[in-house]
Amino acid sequence: MPSLLLCCCWKWLCLQSWAPGQQHPEHVAGAGEDTDPSEITFPGCNCLTASCVTNTCSCLRHGENYNNSCIKYIGSEVDYTRPIFECNAMCRCGEFCQNRVIQRGLQFRLEVFKTVKKGWGLRTLEFIPKGRFVCEYAGEVLCFHEACRRIQAQTPEDSNYIIAVREHLYDGQIIETFVDPMNIGNVGRFLNHSCEPNLFMVPVRIDSLVPKLALFAAVAVSAGEELSYDYSGRFLNVPLIKREQEMLEEDDVMKKPCYCGAKSCVGFLPYDSSLCYTPGPDQGRATHRP
């Protein structure tokens, strides 16, 4: 069974006023991307029950994903990094199967608000239990070269929302997903970085090979509290490999100050320069599939 590592590295935090874009709750195919995020590519399970169980459901071949709508393996590095597949549109189980969580959408009332130093932010208006799904980070799914083109067209003053998610398989292969919610996206784009976040991100697959970037509560979150996650992907994750650590620490000139206010704040936002240099045509990148 493959063991997955999530690494999410953003280049800049949006410190300017947000320019309204099209609201869309799920991923859409962006420029240069040949995979349709809404295409049904997985076969469904044959469970003729209201809710699926392990050992009999093909979608749960890696183990149970949720317990009472909470992600089951929160806090366990070994199990947390395993792949998550929810039951999909082709499955024969019930609408309220316990393995259908992300696809039900927002379950909590969230509010976009203006912060003092960080531009726009997102907070919850009600209590969120530990382990519950909060929201997706949705936007245009890009190919590597388009993500590079957009990054390189920006100036240091421009807002950047592009996220790079790298899933590391046991055999050394890497599945990459690039999402940009600048023009098309959902409330997830308003989430700010924190060195001690209350959310963490997990790639979850339902119908498509393209993962949904699901954000779960790492701790119990009180009403009125700002929601945040670690842009570097290090929080509740296995250690980064050497090259990824170097990418986060290099190029002091490009670093932006972090205003998270956490006791363990490192002072700067995570920085990943891998999208700033486009490889030659013979240096392809595998995305969405091993």
Six-digit token pair at 189?
Answer: 């784009």
Tell me how far apart the alpha carbons of residues 60 and 86 are, in angstroms, rounded to a whole number: 8
pLDDT by residue for the chain (290 residues), tens only, comes to: 333 333 333 333 333 334 456 777 788 877 767 677 778 889 899 999 999 999 899 999 888 999 999 998 655 544 456 789 999 999 999 999 999 999 999 999 999 999 998 889 999 999 999 999 999 999 999 999 999 999 888 877 777 789 999 888 877 888 899 999 988 999 999 999 999 999 999 999 999 989 999 999 999 999 999 999 998 877 766 555 544 455 445 555 457 788 888 888 888 888 767 777 655 554 445 555 44
Asked if residues 141 and 33 have their Cβ atoms less than 8 Å apart, the reply is: yes
* Burial per residue of 255-279, b for 16 or more beta-carbon CB atoms within 10 angstroms, e otherwise: bbebbbeeeeeeeebbbbebbeeee
Distances (CA, A) of 261 to 76, 130, 192, 198: 26, 22, 12, 13
Domain segments of the chain as ranges:
22-42+106-229
Asked if residues 74 and 218 have their Cβ atoms less than 8 Å apart, the reply is: yes
- CA-closest candidate to residue 207, choices 38, 24, 23: 38
Tell me how far apart the alpha carbons of residues 113 and 72 are, in angstroms, rounded to a whole number: 31
| Predicted pLDDT of residue 159 | 75
Topology (CATH level 3) of domain 22-42+106-229:
Beta-clip-like (2.170.270)
DSSP category for residue 128 = B
pTM reported for the whole predicted model = 0.83
| Predicted pLDDT of residue 254 | 58
Asked if residues 151 and 231 have their Cβ atoms less than 8 Å apart, the reply is: no
| Predicted pLDDT of residue 46 | 95
CA R_g for the chain: 18
Q: How many CB atoms lie within 10 A of CB 119?
A: 17
Distances (CA, A) of 242 to 95, 109, 155, 231, 269: 43, 39, 28, 18, 19
